[in-house]
Amino acid sequence: MIPPVAPSALPPRGAPPAARRSRIRGGCLAFAASVCLLGGVGTVFAADEAATVSIREMRFEPAALTVKAGSTVRWSNDEKRSSHSVLFKGEGGLESDRLLPGEQWQRRFDKPGRYPYVCGPHPEMAGVIEVQP
Protein backbone atom coordinates (compact mmCIF):
# COMPACT_ATOMS: atom_id res chain seq x y z
CA MET A 1 0.00 0.00 0.00
CA ILE A 2 1.28 3.47 -0.91
CA PRO A 3 0.97 5.97 1.94
CA PRO A 4 -0.82 9.19 0.97
CA VAL A 5 1.47 12.14 0.30
CA ALA A 6 0.95 15.08 2.61
CA PRO A 7 0.32 18.31 0.66
CA SER A 8 3.26 19.94 2.47
CA ALA A 9 5.62 17.34 0.95
CA LEU A 10 4.90 18.63 -2.55
CA PRO A 11 6.87 21.62 -3.86
CA PRO A 12 4.97 24.86 -3.50
CA ARG A 13 3.04 26.08 -6.51
CA GLY A 14 5.10 28.50 -8.63
CA ALA A 15 8.41 27.40 -7.19
CA PRO A 16 10.59 25.20 -9.45
CA PRO A 17 9.60 21.65 -8.58
CA ALA A 18 13.18 20.47 -8.41
CA ALA A 19 12.51 17.20 -6.65
CA ARG A 20 9.71 16.28 -8.97
CA ARG A 21 11.64 17.30 -12.07
CA SER A 22 14.74 15.27 -11.20
CA ARG A 23 12.61 12.21 -10.61
CA ILE A 24 11.05 12.63 -14.04
CA ARG A 25 14.45 13.10 -15.66
CA GLY A 26 15.69 9.87 -14.11
CA GLY A 27 12.70 8.07 -15.50
CA CYS A 28 13.41 9.41 -18.98
CA LEU A 29 17.02 8.27 -18.80
CA ALA A 30 15.96 4.79 -17.77
CA PHE A 31 13.48 4.74 -20.62
CA ALA A 32 16.09 5.88 -23.15
CA ALA A 33 18.53 3.24 -21.93
CA SER A 34 15.97 0.50 -22.37
CA VAL A 35 15.20 1.74 -25.86
CA CYS A 36 18.91 1.59 -26.70
CA LEU A 37 19.13 -1.96 -25.40
CA LEU A 38 16.09 -3.10 -27.34
CA GLY A 39 16.65 -1.22 -30.58
CA GLY A 40 18.65 -2.97 -33.26
CA VAL A 41 19.88 0.23 -34.84
CA GLY A 42 23.01 1.52 -33.21
CA THR A 43 23.52 -1.55 -31.08
CA VAL A 44 27.19 -2.42 -30.84
CA PHE A 45 28.13 -5.84 -29.64
CA ALA A 46 31.32 -6.25 -27.65
CA ALA A 47 33.87 -8.77 -28.85
CA ASP A 48 32.83 -11.38 -26.32
CA GLU A 49 29.11 -11.12 -27.06
CA ALA A 50 27.44 -13.29 -29.66
CA ALA A 51 25.64 -11.33 -32.32
CA THR A 52 23.06 -13.23 -34.28
CA VAL A 53 21.46 -12.41 -37.60
CA SER A 54 18.18 -14.21 -38.09
CA ILE A 55 17.22 -15.24 -41.61
CA ARG A 56 13.47 -15.30 -42.04
CA GLU A 57 10.87 -14.34 -44.59
CA MET A 58 13.58 -13.89 -47.18
CA ARG A 59 15.39 -11.24 -45.15
CA PHE A 60 18.42 -10.82 -42.93
CA GLU A 61 17.31 -9.47 -39.58
CA PRO A 62 18.84 -7.09 -38.65
CA ALA A 63 20.03 -6.22 -42.15
CA ALA A 64 22.73 -3.93 -40.72
CA LEU A 65 24.69 -5.01 -37.68
CA THR A 66 27.58 -3.27 -35.95
CA VAL A 67 30.11 -5.26 -33.94
CA LYS A 68 33.51 -4.71 -32.38
CA ALA A 69 36.58 -6.19 -34.05
CA GLY A 70 37.13 -9.73 -32.83
CA SER A 71 33.42 -10.47 -32.69
CA THR A 72 31.78 -13.57 -34.03
CA VAL A 73 28.54 -13.16 -35.92
CA ARG A 74 26.18 -16.09 -36.24
CA TRP A 75 23.56 -16.43 -38.95
CA SER A 76 20.59 -18.56 -38.09
CA ASN A 77 18.19 -19.80 -40.74
CA ASP A 78 14.84 -19.40 -39.01
CA GLU A 79 12.78 -20.14 -42.09
CA LYS A 80 10.29 -22.98 -42.29
CA ARG A 81 11.30 -24.15 -45.77
CA SER A 82 13.77 -21.94 -47.61
CA SER A 83 17.49 -22.53 -47.56
CA HIS A 84 19.93 -19.66 -47.77
CA SER A 85 23.62 -18.85 -47.66
CA VAL A 86 25.78 -15.95 -46.59
CA LEU A 87 28.01 -14.70 -49.42
CA PHE A 88 30.67 -12.03 -49.09
CA LYS A 89 31.41 -11.06 -52.68
CA GLY A 90 34.11 -8.61 -51.64
CA GLU A 91 36.40 -11.23 -50.15
CA GLY A 92 37.00 -13.59 -53.01
CA GLY A 93 33.47 -14.87 -52.72
CA LEU A 94 33.60 -16.31 -49.21
CA GLU A 95 30.33 -18.18 -48.85
CA SER A 96 28.77 -20.31 -46.17
CA ASP A 97 27.35 -23.71 -46.89
CA ARG A 98 23.70 -23.71 -47.86
CA LEU A 99 21.85 -23.35 -44.57
CA LEU A 100 18.76 -25.48 -44.22
CA PRO A 101 16.00 -24.34 -41.85
CA GLY A 102 17.32 -24.59 -38.30
CA GLU A 103 20.98 -24.51 -39.34
CA GLN A 104 23.49 -21.87 -38.34
CA TRP A 105 26.80 -20.56 -39.63
CA GLN A 106 29.21 -18.20 -37.97
CA ARG A 107 32.20 -16.13 -38.84
CA ARG A 108 34.63 -14.03 -36.85
CA PHE A 109 35.49 -10.46 -37.85
CA ASP A 110 38.95 -9.36 -36.77
CA LYS A 111 39.52 -6.41 -39.11
CA PRO A 112 37.50 -3.20 -38.82
CA GLY A 113 35.58 -2.33 -41.95
CA ARG A 114 32.35 -2.68 -43.82
CA TYR A 115 31.36 -6.17 -44.90
CA PRO A 116 28.37 -6.25 -47.25
CA TYR A 117 26.91 -9.64 -48.05
CA VAL A 118 24.04 -11.24 -49.90
CA CYS A 119 22.36 -14.61 -50.00
CA GLY A 120 23.94 -16.79 -52.72
CA PRO A 121 20.71 -18.22 -54.16
CA HIS A 122 18.72 -15.02 -53.51
CA PRO A 123 20.99 -12.05 -54.34
CA GLU A 124 18.17 -9.63 -53.57
CA MET A 125 18.61 -10.54 -49.92
CA ALA A 126 21.33 -8.22 -48.63
CA GLY A 127 22.92 -7.28 -45.36
CA VAL A 128 26.00 -5.60 -43.98
CA ILE A 129 28.26 -6.09 -40.99
CA GLU A 130 30.05 -2.97 -39.75
CA VAL A 131 33.13 -3.84 -37.74
CA GLN A 132 34.40 -1.14 -35.41
CA PRO A 133 37.97 -0.98 -34.09
Q: Is 84 in the site for Cu ion (CB under 5 A)?
A: yes
Q: Is 65 in the site for Cu ion (CB under 5 A)?
A: no
CB-wise, 13 or 80, nearer to Cu ion? 80
Q: Is 68 in the site for Cu ion (CB under 5 A)?
A: no
Q: Is 122 in the site for Cu ion (CB under 5 A)?
A: yes
Q: Is 86 in the site for Cu ion (CB under 5 A)?
A: no
Quickly list DSSP for the chain: -PPPPPGGGSPPTTS--HHHHHHHHHHHHHHHHHHHHH-STT-EE-TTS-EEEEEETTEEESSEEEEETTEEEEEEE--SS--B--EEGGGT-EEPPPBPTT-EEEEEE-S-EEEEEE-SS-TT-EEEEEEE-
Judged by CB under 5 A, the stretch of 12-20, 41-49, 88-96, 116-124 that binds Cu ion is: 116-124
